[in-house]
Structure formats: structure tokens, C-alpha cells
């Protein structure tokens, strides 16, 4: 068994303990790669220091919309802009088990409710304070002027603080990701996390998860890019080559697993923890 999880690029290494707790609790009693990555990401979603599930960032309108995905052996389940559920990654697994690949927005939230997922408010005190700060900066703006201001602030946003996990068990690979998105982001905005090949990828050769500003990761489809580099360049170099495709002012992190081990690369601090048994 190999497992590697992260708490988002830009999250300080002092949060390694939080990721370690999530890994230890999340793998407990699990024997399959997919169950392991979901278990670990659920724990990260429940820890308010990370930007996923409880503790997700707030959008400029004050709402919280979350993205999550799971992938195992070429099969995918993803949710985007889901609201008021405790564990978006578990709803992504419900999509995985359905005939669909991705559900989005209010219909996705309704899908979760229909399956018994209760109404849950993931807002924390810290995120409420961040919203007040954003409101103050955008105060008195409306329409195109507000959008212009949002753009100005959004260009300065560094990182997207996804949480993610990759795992290998008996040569089978899985990946899971979850995020509350970025600050200064609009309602309806979707980042890399629920998009195959951008925020995550898992196939016969391994599994990869990325973290950083979604718009930049989507443009480069970095998870699939890294996955495709692994056979020729090896795990560590594939991670480093993926990071090297970004200018230094864009924060980016990647974690990966294959038959030979686990590896990561980043251009900022990135809380993480891995095990190999």
C-alpha cells in the first residue's frame, strides 16, 4: 500500500500533522485504493484548517460552492459548485456509482439530498472574516465596475488550496480531490479540481493530483500531463517537469504514486504526508 496526501499548495508544513492525522484515520479499516483516497479526503474536508468541506472559502456573494472528484482505473465521479453538504467527495463517489461522470450546481446538491445527504453549513469563523474583508474591498461597486475590481483582486490570488490524495493497493491506483475554490471567485466558477486530467488522473500507470490556481492548471491539464511523463521520466522527475511548466509567480503543487513509490513537487510550501508499506 502507498498513500500520499496534501493540504494544498501554500499550506505551511506545520500543517503536516493535520494531513498525517487525516491519512491515519482515513486509511483505517480500508483495503481498496478508492476507499482509501475517499477516506483520507473526507478527513481533510472535516478539518477546518483546510480549504475543502468544513472551512471552504467563501465566494464574493457570500455563498460556499465546492468541487470534488474521485477516479479509479479510468472511472470517474465529480461534483462541481455543490452547496451545503459536509463531504463533497462522498457525493462525487455517488456520481461515480451512477451512470454519469459529473453533476453540477443546484441539481448536484439536489442529487445529494435525494440520497440522504443532510443540509450542512461548512462556513467557519475564519472564512466569515475573510468574506467581510472581501466585502470591504468591493464595497460600493456594482455591475461591470465590480467585475473589474474582482478581476484585479483575482489576478493577485495565489493558489487554490485544494486537498487531495493518491493511493496504490496491489497495483491499482486511485485519486481524490476536494476544494472550496479560490478567494475572490464568482459564484458558478469551477476550477481544476473536478476536471479530469486537470486536477486529478488515475489509470493503469499510477495516480496524480494537482493543487494551485485552477485556471492555470486547466490551461495546462497538469494531472494528465504528469501522468503521461511518468513512464519515460520516472515519478519524481515527472512531478518536477510538471511544476517547471509554470512561471514562479504561479503557485503549483503535484503529488503522484506509481509502482515504484510516491513523489511530490511544488514551488511553495505544501503540507503533505505519505506512507509506503
Enzyme catalytic residues: 162
Query: DSSP label at 11?
Result: -
Cβ of residue 89: shortest distance to ligand GLY, in angstroms?
Answer: 14
Cβ of residue 179: shortest distance to ligand GLY, in angstroms?
Answer: 4
Binds ligand GLY (CB under 6 A): choice among 53, 160, 164, 253: 160
Name the nearest CA neighbour of 4 among 265, 257, 277: 257
Name the nearest CA neighbour of 244 among 228, 222, 262: 222
Would you count residue 213 as binding ligand GLY (CB under 6 A)? yes
3-state secondary structure of 215: helix
Cβ of residue 193: shortest distance to ligand GLY, in angstroms?
Answer: 5
- What residues from 86 to 115 belong to the interface with ligand GLY (CB under 6 A)? none
Nearer to ligand GLY, 15 or 179 (CB): 179
Please, which residues have CB within 8 angstroms of residue 31's CB and are 6 or more apart in sequence? Answer: 169
Instruction: Pinpoint the alpha helices (H) of 115-142.
Output: 125-138
Distance CA 227, CA 127 (A): 34
Binds ligand GLY (CB under 6 A): choice among 214, 258, 266, 269: 214
C-alpha cell at 225: 500531463
Binding segment (CB under 6 A) for ligand GLY, from list 12-20, 38-46, 177-185, 219-227 = 177-185
φ/ψ of residue 52, rounded to 5: -170, 145
Binding segment (CB under 6 A) for ligand GLY, from list 18-26, 89-97, 104-112, 210-218 = 210-218
Cβ of residue 116: shortest distance to ligand GLY, in angstroms?
Answer: 27
Would you count residue 162 as binding ligand GLY (CB under 6 A)? yes
Distance CA 43, CA 28 (A): 11
Nearer to ligand GLY, 215 or 237 (CB): 215
- What residues from 179 to 198 belong to the interface with ligand GLY (CB under 6 A)? 179, 181-182, 191-193
* N residues, the chain: 277
How many binding residues for ligand GLY (CB under 6 A)?
12
Cβ of residue 122: shortest distance to ligand GLY, in angstroms?
Answer: 15
Nearer to ligand GLY, 122 or 191 (CB): 191
Distance CA 173, CA 144 (A): 45
Distance CA 223, CA 53 (A): 22
Q: Please say whether the beta carbons of 240 and 256 come within 8 A.
A: no
For cell 476507499, what's the residue?
35
Nearer to ligand GLY, 142 or 155 (CB): 155
Nearer to ligand GLY, 90 or 251 (CB): 251
Contact residues toward ligand GLY (CB under 6 A) are 160, 162, 179, 181-182, 191-193, 211-214
Amino acid at each position: 500500500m502507498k498513500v500520499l496526501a496534501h493540504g494544498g499548495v501554500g499550506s505551511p508544513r506545520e500543517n503536516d500533522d493535520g494531513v498525517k492525522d487525516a491519512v491515519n484515520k482515513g486509511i483505517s479499516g480500508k483495503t481498496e485504493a478508492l476507499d482509501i483516497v475517499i477516506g483520507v479526503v473526507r478527513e481533510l474536508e472535516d478539518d477546518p484548517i483546510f480549504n475543502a468541506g468544513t472551512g471552504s472559502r467563501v465566494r464574493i456573494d457570500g455563498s460556499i460552492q465546492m468541487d470534488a472528484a474521485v477516479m479509479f482505473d479510468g472511472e470517474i465521479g465529480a461534483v462541481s459548485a455543490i452547496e451545503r453538504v459536509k463531504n463533497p467527495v462522498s457525493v462525487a463517489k455517488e456520481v461515480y456509482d451512477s451512470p454519469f461522470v459529473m453533476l453540477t450546481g443546484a441539481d448536484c446538491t439536489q442529487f445529494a439530498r435525494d440520497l440522504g445527504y443532510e443540509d450542512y453549513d461548512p462556513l467557519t469563523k475564519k472564512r466569515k472574516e475573510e468574506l467581510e474583508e472581501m466585502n470591504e474591498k468591493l464595497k460600493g461597486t456594482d455591475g461591470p465596475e465590480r467585475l473589474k475590481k474582482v478581476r484585479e483582486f483575482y489576478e493577485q490570488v495565489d493558489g487554490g488550496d485544494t486537498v487531495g490524495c493518491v493511493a496504490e493497493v496491489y497495483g491499482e491506483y486511485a485519486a481524490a480531490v476536494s476544494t472550496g475554490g479560490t478567494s475572490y471567485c464568482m459564484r458558478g466558477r469551477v476550477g481544476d479540481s473536478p476536471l479530469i486530467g486537470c486536477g486529478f488522473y488515475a489509470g493503469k500507470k499510477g495516480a496524480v493530483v494537482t493543487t494551485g490556481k485552477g485556471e492555470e492548471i486547466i490551461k495546462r491539464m497538469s494531472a494528465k500531463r504528469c501522468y503521461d511523463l511518468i513512464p519515460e521520466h520516472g515519478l519524481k522527475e515527472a512531478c518536477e517537469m510538471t511544476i517547471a511548466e509554470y512561471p514562479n509567480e504561479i503557485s503549483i503543487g503535484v503529488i503522484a504514486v506509481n509502482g515504484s513509490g510516491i513523489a511530490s513537487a511544488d514551488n511553495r510550501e505544501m503540507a503533505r504526508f505519505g506512507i509506503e508499506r
